[in-house]
Chain A
Amino acid sequence: MAEGTNQTTTIGADTSITGEISFESAAQVYGRVEGKIVGKGELRIGSGATCRAAIDAGRVTVDGTVEGDVVGRDRVELTAKARVTGDVTAPKLVVNEGASFYGHCRVGPDAGKEHAKSVAEAKPAAKGVGAPTA
């Protein structure tokens, strides 16, 4: 395959991952993930997938089950089969009729920026907490 073309990472239906998944362009999850999913591109949580994970990606489409906070830098879409328990933050949210959603919701042009700001503010504080004391 030529270098630079879009590649999609796929987590198959019979796959279970515990830990952090990071991707650049696109990823699809059809199996089980526990931990964290971070990426810049498009993430699809497929039908039948179960994620107990914090999700942070560019465009997130949920067609399966997610337990954890979902952050979409560009957009989050919950299809009619989606089951989400956790907070959703995104500039744009599309919820199709039939989706299940329990959690807090922050949607709008400023939602992603505010989230990024809060994460940036939290990082130095976390360092300070973990820093060794004299």
Chain B
Amino acid sequence: MPPETTHRSVQCYHCRRRFEVGVRAVTVSCPGCHKRLVIEDLVIKNAQAYTKLQTCGRVVVQRRGHVMATLVEAHAGIEVLGVLEANAITGGGVRIGPKATWKGDLAARTLRVDAGARIVGGRFAVPDDPLGLARTTPERAGDGAS
């Protein structure tokens, strides 16, 4: 039986420091810049406006969801089934569903667009490593790192 995973690697979206957190963590303070980080997946079910929508997890915009933001940053990926109007960067994959609308730029590792999606004039860069995830190695939170 494989050992149970107790930690996962995340990257601070303020200072870009990488460290490990418990798999059940929802929010955490960055050991580098001490700012609060959202770790959990964000599920948008209705119309929401943000300046920055950031998480170390995934952003999921459901069919009736409508996100308007200047920046969406989701380190584990983005799934859009509704409407997303923002410039987005992610260290994971992006899925634009069959009835989804995407308006804005995108930098992502992988992209999947289903037939029927609507994309309005964004600049796409795929694959990209906008977060530099391939360059740094994580450290354990609370390991005494400076």
Give residues in A with beta carbon < 8 Å to B: 75, 92-109
User: B: which residues have CB within 8 A of A?
Assistant: 93, 101, 110-127
> Is the pair B113, A94 in contact by a Cβ cutoff of 8 Å?
yes
Q: Which of A75, A95, A97, A102 has the most CB of B within 10 A?
A: A95
Partner of B93, one of A92, A93, A97, A101: A97
- Contacts A75-B115, A107-B118, A108-B101 given; 18 further ones with Cβ under 8 A? A92-B116, A93-B115, A97-B93, A99-B111, A99-B126, A101-B126, A102-B126, A103-B124, A104-B121, A104-B124, A105-B119, A105-B121, A105-B122, A106-B119, A106-B121, A107-B113, A107-B119, A109-B118
Residues on the B chain within 8 Å of A109, using CB: 118
Contact yes or no, B119 A92, CB < 8 A: no
Complex CA–CA separation, A57 to B114 (angstroms)? 20
4 A-B pairs closest in CB distance: A108-B118, A107-B119, A95-B113, A105-B119
- Determine if B123 and A103 form an interchain contact, defined as CB atoms under 8 angstroms apart: yes
Q: How far is the CB of B128 from chain A (nearest CB, A)?
A: 8
**In whole angstroms, how far apart are the Cα atoms of A92 and B116 in the complex?**
6
- Contact indicator A102/B125 (Cβ below 8 Å): yes
Q: B residues within 8 A CB of A93?
A: 113, 115, 117, 119
B123-A95 in contact (CB<8A)? no
Contact A100 B119 (CB under 8 A): no
B35 to chain A, nearest CB (A): 32
Say yes or no: A97-B112 contact (C-beta < 8 A), given A102-B126, A104-B124.
yes
Contact check, A102 vs B124: say whether CB atoms are below 8 A apart: yes
Closest CB in chain B relative to A117 CB, distance in Å: 15
Assembly CA distance A9 to B30 (angstroms): 59
Contacts of A95 in B (CB 8 A): 111-113, 126
State the CA gap A97–B110 with chains docked (Å): 6
Q: Are A92 and B115 in contact (CB under 8 A)?
A: yes
In the bound complex, CA of A97 to CA of B95 (Å):
9
Nearest CB of chain B from residue A11's CB, rounded to whole Å: 27
Instruction: Find out whether the CB atom of B121 lies under 8 angstroms from the CB atom of A100.
Output: no
- Contact assessment for B123 and A104 in the assembled complex, using a CB-CB cutoff below 8 Å: yes
Contact across chains for B120 and A108 when beta carbons are under 8 A apart: yes
B124 and A94 form a contact (CB under 8 A): no
B114 near A94 with CB under 8 A, answer yes
Complex Cα distance, B118 from A75, in Å, reads: 12
Closest to A92 in B: B115
Within the complex, what minimum Cβ distance (angstroms) separates A107 from chain B? 4
A12 to chain B, nearest CB (A): 30
Query: From residue B1, how far is it (CB to closest CB) to chain A in Å?
Result: 30
Instruction: List, sorted by A's number, 17 A–B pairs whose CB atoms are closer than 8 Å.
Output: A92-B115, A92-B116, A93-B119, A95-B113, A96-B112, A99-B126, A100-B126, A101-B111, A101-B125, A103-B123, A104-B121, A104-B122, A105-B121, A106-B119, A108-B101, A108-B118, A108-B119
